[in-house]
Amino acid sequence: MQLLDIRNLTLELETPDGIVRAVDRVNLSLKEGEVRGLVGESGSGKSLIAKAIMGVLHERWHITADRFSWCGEDLMRLPYRRQREIISRDIAMIYQEPSRSMDPTALIGEQLAESVPDHLVEGISWWQRGYFRRKRAINLLHKVGIRDHQSVLNSYPYQLSEGVCQKISIAMAIAKDPKLLIADEPTTALESTTQAQLFRLLASFNQLKGTSILLISHELETVAKSTDTLSVLYCGQLVEAGDTATLLQNPRHPYTDALIRSVPEFQPDLAFKQQLYALHGSIPTLQHLPIGCRLGPRCPNARKECVKTPQLERHHNHFYSCHFPILRTNDDE
């Protein structure tokens, strides 16, 4: 079943230099039980899209979309309050810097207890509710792999390490049994052992509970291992989307190809002392966005037609938008 279906999402901001389009007509869709990766360089608008879905974007941003539906219900037509109700009931998000997204003056136990949703405590008499909430918080901590719940519950966020904080924010996120979990660069601030633990945790939630996960990252190698489908963003434009395996084997867009080639792990026959591949140039600033396909100035395949934004083309569940895609000869047309 289609959980999330977004078509032509555009995010615009008014600056003194004019209106800037940070995200330009991005399509995103998620099925139930799917783990989707959203990959892009920093500045490509991935976090903006996540915040737009959650509805916590700053008021300065103009959000427009052709379609924004959740479980078949079109959210754009509902009043704001109903939108927020639905979203806060079914979607949860974990952030990049977990200790900053927690209240510094509240105990972890308090914060966990308050994220237990109200409908779970409904049948219980009010004096027992606190106890029930606390029990559920301990339960959640065990689920994310924290054995020693006593000391964690009685500490403040600044007293715990980032890895533990991230696990706690995952616990807070799954407290309400969400259908979709958005993970916004969850492992950037952590060491590799904790990263591995975290991905295993997310995978277990996906398999055991059927929670869909939208994993946002800028590292292709970590995302490739844990996701079913992948969307690649460049500079606010959707460049390519499809199954991870197909994408990594046969990338159609030059940018995806460049990304794959720049990751040493994906090059099996890298010679000793060979120069590593990198796409020349750098991501443009918001004030100097190129017209048409934004990869234009950097793209090795670029030609005159690229000043017009390419349409999204589709081939067997593999979407790409490029005027001159890379087509391998052993591909079936």
Partner 1 sequence: MILRYLARRLFLLGFVFVALTIFVFSLNYLFPGDLVSNLTGLRDISPEQHQELQQTLGLNQSIWQQYIEYNRRLFAGDWGLSFSSQQSVLTEIGKVLPATLELTSYALCLSLLVGIPLGLLAAVKKDSLLDKCISSVALVGYSMPVFWLALICIMLFSLQLGWLPTSGRLGVLFEVPAQTGFIFIDILLAPQIDRSAAAYNALLHLTLPTLILASYPTNVMIRFVRHSMVDVLDQNYIKTARAKGLSRGQVLYRHGLRNALLPVTRQVGLQFSSLITLAMLTEVIFSWPGIGQWLIDSIYQRNYPAIQAGLLVVSSLVICVNMLTEIVHTLFNPLARKL
Partner 2 sequence: MKKLRLYYEEYNKKPYQLLWKHFVPQHFALFGLIILSVLLLLAVISPFISPHDPYQQNAELLLLAPSWQGSGLVSYPFGTDDLGRDLMSRLMLGASYSFGLAILAVCGSMLIGLLLGALAGMTRGVQSSIFNHLLDLALTIPSLLLAIVIVAVLGPGLLNTIWAIMLALLPQFIHGVGNAIQEQLKQDYVVAYRLDGANNWQILWSVVLPNLWEPLSLLFTMALSTAILDIAALGFLGLGAQAPTPEWGSMVADALDSIYLAPWTVALPGLLIFITVLSINLVGDGLHKAMKKRRGS
Interaction site with partner 1 (CB under 8 A) = 54-56, 88-89, 92-93, 95, 97, 100-106, 114-115, 117, 156, 158-159, 169, 172, 176
Whichever of 189 and 295 has its CB closer to partner 1, that residue is 189
Whichever of 19 and 208 has its CB closer to partner 2, that residue is 19
**What spatial distance separates the first Cα and last Cα of the chain, rounded to whole Å?**
28
Distance CA(22)–CA(43), nearest Å, equals 9
Q: Can you read off the two tokens belonging to residue 98?
A: 């977990």
To the nearest whole angstrom, how small is the minimum distance from the Cβ of residue 105 to partner 1? 5
To the nearest whole angstrom, how small is the minimum distance from the Cβ of residue 301 to partner 1? 40
Q: Is there a contact between 209 and 172 (Cβ–Cβ < 8 Å)?
A: no
Whichever of 172 and 198 has its CB closer to partner 1, that residue is 172
Contact partner at residue 12 from partner 1, partner 2, none, CB < 5 to 8 Å by partner kind: none
Whichever of 215 and 224 has its CB closer to partner 1, that residue is 215
Distance CA(54)–CA(70), nearest Å, equals 12
Q: What are phi and psi of 198, to 5 degrees?
A: -65, -45
To the nearest whole angstrom, how small is the minimum distance from the Cβ of residue 165 to partner 2? 24
Contact partner at residue 102 from partner 2, partner 1, none, CB < 5 to 8 Å by partner kind: partner 1
Contact partner at residue 243 from partner 1, partner 2, none, CB < 5 to 8 Å by partner kind: none
How many CA atoms are closer than 13 Å to the CA of 29, on its beta-carbon side?
Answer: 17
How many chain residues bind partner 2 (CB under 8 A)? 3
Q: Which residue from 61, 12, 22, 15 is spatially nearest to 44, judged by alpha carbons?
A: 22
Whichever of 67 and 176 has its CB closer to partner 1, that residue is 176
Crossing angle of helices 162-174 and 192-209, in 10° steps, is 10
Contact partner at residue 124 from partner 2, partner 1, none, CB < 5 to 8 Å by partner kind: none
Query: For residues 115-134, b (16+ Cβ closer than 10 Å) or e, as one string?
Result: bbeeeebeeeeeeebeebbb
Q: Can you read off the two tokens belonging to residue 215?
A: 């994993």
Distance CA(157)–CA(104), nearest Å, equals 6
Q: Is there a contact between 79 and 68 (Cβ–Cβ < 8 Å)?
A: no
Whichever of 131 and 158 has its CB closer to partner 1, that residue is 158
Query: Binders of partner 2 among 279-298, rule CB under 8 A?
Result: 288
To the nearest whole angstrom, how small is the minimum distance from the Cβ of residue 280 to partner 2? 20
Whichever of 210 and 281 has its CB closer to partner 2, that residue is 281
Instruction: Please select the residue that binds partner 2; options are 6, 8, 16, 187, rule is CB under 8 A.
Output: 16
Q: Is 216 exposed, middle or buried (0-12, 13-18, 19+ CB in 10 A)?
A: buried
Binding residues for partner 2, rule: CB under 8 A, are 15-16, 288
